[in-house]
Amino acid sequence: MPGPRETILIRISGPDQTGITSAAMAILASAEASIQDVEQIVVRGRLTLELVVEVPSGKDVLKDLLLMGWERKLDVDFEVVDSAPQPTLPTLVVSVIGADLGPADLVSVTAAIAKANGNIERIQRLAKTPVWCYEFEVHGGDADGMRAELLDTASENPRFDVAVQRMGLSRRAQRLIVLDVDSTLIQNEMIDLLADQAGVGDACAEITARAMAGALDFEESLRSRVALLAGQPEEIIDLAFEHLELTYGADTFIRTLKRLGYKVAIVSGGFTSFTDRLKESLDIDHAYANTLERKRGVLTGELTGPIVDRAAKAALLQRIADEEGIALEQVVAVGDGANDLDMLAMAGLGVAFRAKQVVREAADTTLSTPHLDAVLFMLGVRREELVADQLASDD
C-alpha cells in the first residue's frame, strides 16, 4: 500500500528561459511525485509556473527545487494545501472587445460576473489590434443571470462589447458561419449602388425611409426599389460592383475561417449578381440572394424566383447546416438588420454586427467595432495566430 502523501502548491516565477519546466518535472519525477494540476504563463518575458503535486512522505523535493531556482535566478515558493479537489470546468466564456480597454472597463465586467456569483478562473488577452479583446473563463454562479448582467453592462457602456457563450465542445467545434452581406460583409447596400448608377438614388432612399418607418414590409420595399431599375442596361451591375467595399477585416475573416476548416455561407436580401462574384472571389462555400430579371441585356425591374426575406434566411441557414451535416448549435450567424433576426436566433451563436437597436437587443451578442475579423476573437482565435497565418500565406 502506498504511504501517506503531502499535497503542495509550488509556484516558480522569474525571467523566462529554456528548460525551466523540464528541470522542475525531472525533480518531481525523481521524487515519485504525482501532478494534480499545472498552469504556466509567460507575460513580457516573465514566467509563472504553478503546480499542485502530491509528494510521498520522506521525499524532499523542496531542497532540489530551491537549488534549481537559485541557479536560474528564479523565485520558488511552497504552500502545503488540502488534497487537490476534482477540477471543474468553466461554465461560461466571456469575451470583452473594445477599441481601448482600461481598468475601469474591466471593473464593470468583473463586477457583473461577481454579482451573479461567478468565479473567474482564467483571463487571457486575445488581441490588442485592431481592437482589444480579453477572454474570461468563468465557473459557477447563475449562468442566465450572469449573461443578463453582462449584456446590460455592455449596453450601458459604449466603450466595449461583451460576448457570453457557454463553455463546451460545441464552441470549439463551431463549423459553419452564415453571414448577411449588406452592411455586414460589405459596407454598402447593393440596391443603393445600383440605384446610384441608374440615377434614381433619391427615389430609392425615399422608399427605404418608408420601409424603415414601417409603411412597407421587406418584400414591398424591395420590389418597389427594384422597379426603379426597369429599362436600365445590365452593365450598371458591373459599374455598381466596382464601388462595392468590403467591410474592414472581411478578407482576413473569411481566409482564416477557411484555413480553420469552417464552412462559410452568405445569405442576402440583395442580389445574386453581387453575391455570386463575392462567392468566387472570397472562396465562399454557399451564396443565396434574390435574382434580378434581365431580358435582352436590360433589367426589367422585376425579380425572379423566391424572395430571400427574414423567414427565408433562417430556412436557408437550416438547409445549409443540413447539407453540411452540421448541428445548429455549431453555427455562427452574423447580421445587422431586422431581416436577420430569425437566423440569428436559430444559430448556436448569433452576432449582431454594427446592428440596428432591435437586433442588438435580440442577439446573443453584439459587436460595435467596424472590423469583421473581430468575430474571430469570439471563437477563441488570438491576434498573434492571425499574424502568423498571414505571414505563412505570404511565404
> Which are the catalytic amino acids?
180, 182
Whether a cis peptide bond, with omega within 30° of 0, leads into 130 is yes
Strand duo 119-127 + 286-295: pairing: unpaired
The three cell numbers locating residue 288: 443565396
Q: What is the DSSP letter of 297?
A: T
Burial of 281 (0-12, 13-18, 19+ CB in 10 A): exposed
Asked whether the beta carbons of 342 and 358 are under 8 A apart, the reply is no
d(CA 123, CA 138): 9
String of b and e for 361-372 (b: at least 16 CB within 10 Å)?
ebbbbbbbbebb
Q: In what order do the strands lie in the sheet with 75-80?
A: 34-43, 46-56, 5-15, 75-80
Query: Residue 276's closest CA among 263, 293, 290, 260?
Result: 290
DSSP string, 320-350: HHHHHT--GGGEEEEE-SGGGHHHHHHSSEE
